[in-house]
Structure 1
Amino acid sequence: MTRTVLVTGSSSGFGRATVRTFLAQGWNVVATLRDPAAWDGEASDRLLVRALDVRDESSIDTAVTAATQRFGHLDAVVNNAGMGLFSVFETTPQSVIDDLFQTNVYGPMRVIRAVLPVFQAQGGGRIVNVTSSSATVPTPLQAAYGASKAALTVFSEGLEYELADQNIQVRTVEPGFVPTTGFFTQTSARFASIPAPEAYLPYIQKQIAAFDVQPPAGYLATEDDVAATVFTAATDESGLTRFRVGGDTLDGAAARRQSDADYDAWRTAQFA
């Protein structure tokens, strides 16, 4: 039987690449995005495009129902939809931070609540939550963003224990910085609309300049690398729960495994 996956945030970036990857692997794919009219990607008999806003429970329930009605079952869900934020915490409006957590944390929780009855009725399923390397190594001017992704990571690991006896697995995919997603451009635009106090400006300029430093070829992941890792997380049977992708992610994880003193020395050299 052809397996079926539902992907949130399919309009661009990781989501679009993930849809493409699962289709190439022969899966049925439910590509969800806030505005289905904006879909200009692949066309396939195995593709269903539906509206889904992770902040709207009604739209989530409607999309999940459409998925099961069209394909008869749902084997995996990929919580990819997310919001970036590059800003100084002090001047970031609380409403922006609330929106960040509504999208990056509560959104996946809503989707999981909607799919659990489906997975339970059919005897199992796989949840893949896309987090960030910032969940392992917090980065400058992304404190709130990293906090949201860390919350999703910890939630995923705790939930894994609760669902294991029901043959429902929870996996996380942790990408590093991927220049081609447009994340930096989008978050910089959002940052520009949030004025920073003058005291922060020298440090902000230094951190923005760091993005212009070109790493070795192949060091940073691409959208397709992340999508391939999502597919692995959705199909892997080794029991591994966290899948990291990108040289920066792997280096950060290795640094985090050092002693506290060594890690502090490493992060100070990287970001101070």
Structure 2
Amino acid sequence: MAQTVLITGSSSGIGRRAAERFLAEGWNVVATLRDPSAWDGIPDGRLLIHALDVRDEASVEAAVAAGVERFGRLDCVVNNAGAGLFAVFEGTPQAVVEDLFETNVYGPMRVIRAALPHFHRQGGGRIVNVTSTSATVPQSLQAVYTATKSALDGFSEAVDHELRTRNVDVKIVVPGFVPSTNFVAQNYTRFAKVQTPPEYASYLQQRIAVFDAEIPAGYVATEVQAAAAVFEAATDTTGRLRFRVGQDAFGAATSRRLPDADYESWRRSTFDTPCPS
């Protein structure tokens, strides 16, 4: 019997590529997204497109139930849906902070809670949570985003210990920067209420220039490569927890393992800029 995976955030990017990869590997796929009409793929008998907003518990439960009803089982959930934010913390209203936590932290928790009863009835399952290299090395102008991804990363590692007693594994996929997702363009303008205090304008432009600079070939991952890491995590049999993708992701992990003094010097030289006189 074919295995079944439910993927959140399947309209584009890593989520869409992951859905395509699982289908190609013979899995049943419940591809979920807030607006099902945004899916423009070719119909497939092993594919169910369903609405799911991770911020809405009823929406999550309905999508999980529909997937189980359609395919008879649920073997894996991929928590890929998420929102980014490239902004100065001082100009970010509390409502925006809370919205990001609703999407990036509480959303995956809702999906996991909805999936666990089905996993337990089957005797096991797999959870794949997509975090970010920002959870490894926090970057400036991503303070709130980093907070959410760090929370998800820590939660994933901790809850894995608990769930393994019920034969449910948790895996963490840690992508670096994936340029085709247009992180800065999509997420700096995401919230109209976010304002940049003029005192930060120069620094903001410097950091945006870093993201806009030409990236050496092969240094960062593509959406397809990130999706391959998701599939690898979903099918892993080695007990491995984290699956990094992109040379920048591995570089961040290496930097984080430096002695404290060396790491402090590196992060200051990488992200700091002199205060205006």
TM-score by length of 2: 0.96
DSSP-derived class of the 2:219 partner: coil
Once the two structures are overlaid, the 10-residue window that deviates more, 33-42 or 55-64, is: 33-42
Question: Residue 182 of structure 1: CA displacement?
Answer: 2.3
Superposition pairs of residues 8-27 of structure 1, within 5 angstroms: 8-27=8-27
Question: Residue 190 of structure 1: CA displacement?
Answer: 2.6
Superposition pairs of residues 173-252 of structure 1, within 5 angstroms: 173-190=173-190, 194-252=194-252
| 1:138-176 CA distance string (max 9 Å, x none) | 011000000000000000001000011111000010111
Question: Residue 171 in 1 paired to residue 195 in 2?
Answer: no
Q: State how far apart, in whole Å, the 2-side matches of 1:24 and 1:184 are.
A: 31
Matched residue count: 272
Gaps of 5+ in 1: none
The answer on whether the counterparts of 2:104 and 2:148 sit within 8 Å (CA) in structure 1 is yes
Question: Residue 42 of structure 1: CA displacement?
Answer: 3.5
DSSP-derived class of the 2:66 partner: helix
CA RMSD of aligned residues (A): 1.1
Q: State how far apart, in whole Å, the 1-side matches of 2:10 and 2:267 are.
A: 34
The one-letter code matched in structure 2 to 1:38 is A
- In structure 2, the residue matched to 1:106 is 106
The answer on whether the counterparts of 1:20 and 1:42 sit within 8 Å (CA) in structure 2 is no
The answer on whether the counterparts of 2:184 and 2:208 sit within 8 Å (CA) in structure 1 is no
- In structure 1, the residue matched to 2:153 is 153
- In structure 1, the residue matched to 2:120 is 120
- In structure 1, the residue matched to 2:35 is 35
The one-letter code matched in structure 1 to 2:252 is G
Question: Residue 9 of structure 1: CA displacement?
Answer: 0.6
Once the two structures are overlaid, the 10-residue window that deviates more, 189-198 or 34-43, is: 189-198
Question: Residue 184 of structure 1: CA displacement?
Answer: 2.0
- In structure 2, the residue matched to 1:131 is 131
The answer on whether the counterparts of 1:87 and 1:191 sit within 8 Å (CA) in structure 2 is no
Indicate the percent of aligned positions where both proteins have the same amino acid. 61
| 1:211-234 CA distance string (max 9 Å, x none) | 122222011100001100000000
Q: State how far apart, in whole Å, the 2-side matches of 1:196 and 1:63 are.
A: 38
- In structure 2, the residue matched to 1:47 is 47
Once the two structures are overlaid, the 10-residue window that deviates more, 33-42 or 90-99, is: 33-42
The one-letter code matched in structure 2 to 1:83 is A
The one-letter code matched in structure 2 to 1:52 is L
Q: Which runs of 4+ in 1 moved over 3 A?
A: none
- In structure 2, the residue matched to 1:97 is 97
- In structure 2, the residue matched to 1:67 is 67
The answer on whether the counterparts of 2:96 and 2:191 sit within 8 Å (CA) in structure 1 is no
The one-letter code matched in structure 1 to 2:108 is P
The answer on whether the counterparts of 1:10 and 1:16 sit within 8 Å (CA) in structure 2 is yes
The one-letter code matched in structure 2 to 1:211 is F
The answer on whether the counterparts of 1:105 and 1:148 sit within 8 Å (CA) in structure 2 is yes
The answer on whether the counterparts of 1:172 and 1:241 sit within 8 Å (CA) in structure 2 is yes
Question: Residue 113 of structure 1: CA displacement?
Answer: 0.3
DSSP-derived class of the 1:190 partner: coil
The answer on whether the counterparts of 1:10 and 1:31 sit within 8 Å (CA) in structure 2 is yes
The one-letter code matched in structure 2 to 1:28 is N
Q: State how far apart, in whole Å, the 1-side matches of 2:232 and 2:7 are.
A: 15
Q: State how far apart, in whole Å, the 2-side matches of 1:212 and 1:167 are.
A: 44
Question: Residue 192 of structure 1: CA displacement?
Answer: 7.0
The answer on whether the counterparts of 2:18 and 2:230 sit within 8 Å (CA) in structure 1 is yes
Specify whether residues 42 and 132 from structure 1 end up closer, same or farther in structure 2 by C-alpha distance, changes over 3 A only.
Answer: farther
